[in-house]
């Protein structure tokens, strides 16, 4: 039995080798580059980076946008995941298709489509003027709001699907049992449903946050080069400014921040589940 298990472990070998070659080694090179100077190992690059107020602004931009995109995806995606899990037959097929099919459309295509939608005469502006929220057409393109809306649309399926996979395992009778015991709807949600769905929520947050914190094409097209994030600064450093040192530093900072946030959210979710 033990031998079988060790043999089964080898099934992961191709994927491990692939990831080591195309991901881990280049990543190590990147990390090494960020602490290597002409005179050997140095943290001067990081010191210079963090000493520059502009770097903090870029970090702030990155975290704020990624956080907002994740929040919007969670608020929109959470109820959708329930609708999807509780739907049956054709309705579920249609809902699933509506969520999964957009994944087959490239990010660039979506970003260009959002450019049209977010224009001054785009449908969002027309709608908001139509219902009286705005008195005159306004532009959302090249604004942070437009970026969050466009990015949330692209990443929404990555929030819905993990939550859906957890929700569909929850026995609906649990809520009924709570109700028969006299627990109100809000309390039932916070004491029963939310704790049970937390693993899916954490996975969704981890997915969406990691994607949003490192997005490059979407901000380039929806907000332009007057709004720098760590990812766009990294891309520019390598591709345009030919400043590998800065690019390695920004990439490392981005990686550390993303990993920290994902780990932290996972830790908080576990604690919350235990507490509830």
Partner 1 sequence: MVLPLSDAATGGTRIAPLLEESGDIEMSQLGPVLNRRRFAAALGAGTFVLASPGIVRAQTREIVIGGAASHKPWFETHIQAAFERKFRCRLTFEGTRSLVNLEKMQKNKDRPYISVVQMDDPVMILAVREGLLEPITATKAPNLARLKPGTVHMDGMWANYLQPWQGIAFNSNVLRTPPASWNDMFEGRFRSRIIVPSLQNTEGLPNIFMMAHLVTGKPMAEAYKDIDAAFAGFRRLKPNLLTAYSQMPQAFSLMEQGEAHMIVGALSSFGMQRRLDGAPVGMVAPREGIFPVPSGIAVVKGGPHQDLAFAYVNELLGAEVQNRIVPPTFALPTNLDATIPPGMPSGVTVHPIDWAFVAENRAAWVQRWDREMAL
Cα–Cα distance for residue pair 231/221, rounded to 1 Å: 14
Query: CB 243 → partner 1: shortest distance, Å?
Result: 7
Cα–Cα distance for residue pair 246/45, rounded to 1 Å: 7
- Per CB under 8 A, contacts with partner 1 among 51-90 are 54, 57
Query: CB 116 → partner 1: shortest distance, Å?
Result: 8
What CA–CA distances, in Å, run from 38 to 34, 42, 52, 244, 245? 12, 9, 21, 13, 11
- Per CB under 8 A, contacts with partner 1 among 20-39 are none
Q: Does residue 141 bind partner 1 (CB under 8 A)?
A: yes
Query: CB 9 → partner 1: shortest distance, Å?
Result: 37
SS3 120: coil
Cα–Cα distance for residue pair 257/109, rounded to 1 Å: 29
SS3 37: strand
Binds partner 1 by CB under 8 A, chosen from 70, 228, 234, 248: 228
- Considering beta carbons, is residue 46 or 144 the nearer one to partner 1? 144
Q: How many residues bind partner 1 (CB under 8 A)?
A: 28
Query: CB 119 → partner 1: shortest distance, Å?
Result: 5
Q: Please count the residues of the chain.
A: 276
Cα–Cα distance for residue pair 248/253, rounded to 1 Å: 9
Q: Which helix (H) or strand (E) holds 232?
A: helix 230-239
Q: Does residue 262 bind partner 1 (CB under 8 A)?
A: no
Structure tokens at 169: 């395992």
Structure tokens at 6: 């060790």
Q: Does residue 116 bind partner 1 (CB under 8 A)?
A: yes
Query: CB 74 → partner 1: shortest distance, Å?
Result: 25
Structure tokens at 144: 């942070």
- Per CB under 8 A, contacts with partner 1 among 144-203 are 144
Q: Does residue 106 bind partner 1 (CB under 8 A)?
A: no
Q: Does residue 221 bind partner 1 (CB under 8 A)?
A: yes
What CA–CA distances, in Å, run from 222 to 113, 119, 142, 241? 10, 10, 5, 22
Query: CB 95 → partner 1: shortest distance, Å?
Result: 33
- Considering beta carbons, is residue 210 or 237 the nearer one to partner 1? 237
Residues lying near partner 1 in the complex (CB under 8 A): 54, 57, 112, 115-116, 119-121, 139, 141-144, 220-221, 223-228, 236, 238-243
């Amino acid at each position: 039995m033990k031998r079988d298990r060790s043999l089964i472990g080898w099934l992961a070998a191709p994927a491990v080798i692939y990831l080591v070659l195309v991901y881990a080694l280049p990543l190590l090179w990147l990390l090494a580059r960020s602490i290597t100077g002409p005179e050997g190992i140095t943290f001067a690059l990081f010191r210079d980076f963090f000493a520059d107020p502009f770097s903090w602004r870029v970090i702030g931009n990155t975290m704020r946008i990624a956080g907002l995109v994740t929040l919007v995806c969670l608020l929109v995606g959470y109820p959708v995941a329930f609708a999807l899990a509780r739907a049956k037959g054709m309705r579920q097929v249609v809902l699933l298709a509506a969520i999964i099919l957009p994944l087959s459309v490239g990010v660039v295509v979506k970003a260009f489509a959002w450019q049209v939608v977010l224009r001054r005469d785009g449908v969002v502006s027309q709608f908001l003027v139509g219902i009286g929220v705005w008195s005159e057409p306004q532009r959302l393109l090249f604004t942070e709001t437009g970026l969050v809306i466009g990015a949330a649309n692209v990443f929404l399926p990555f929030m819905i699907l993990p939550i859906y996979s957890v929700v569909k395992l929850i026995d609906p009778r649990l809520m009924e049992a709570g109700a028969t015991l006299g627990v109100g709807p809000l309390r039932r949600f916070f004491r029963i449903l939310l704790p049970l769905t937390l693993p899916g929520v954490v996975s969704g947050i981890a997915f969406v946050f990691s994607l949003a914190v490192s997005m490059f094409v979407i901000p380039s097209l929806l907000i332009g080069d007057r709004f720098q994030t760590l990812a766009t600064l990294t891309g520019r450093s390598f591709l345009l400014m030919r400043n590998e040192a800065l690019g390695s530093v920004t990439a490392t900072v981005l990686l550390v921040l993303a990993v920290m946030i994902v780990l932290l959210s996972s830790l908080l979710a576990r604690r919350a589940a235990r507490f509830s």
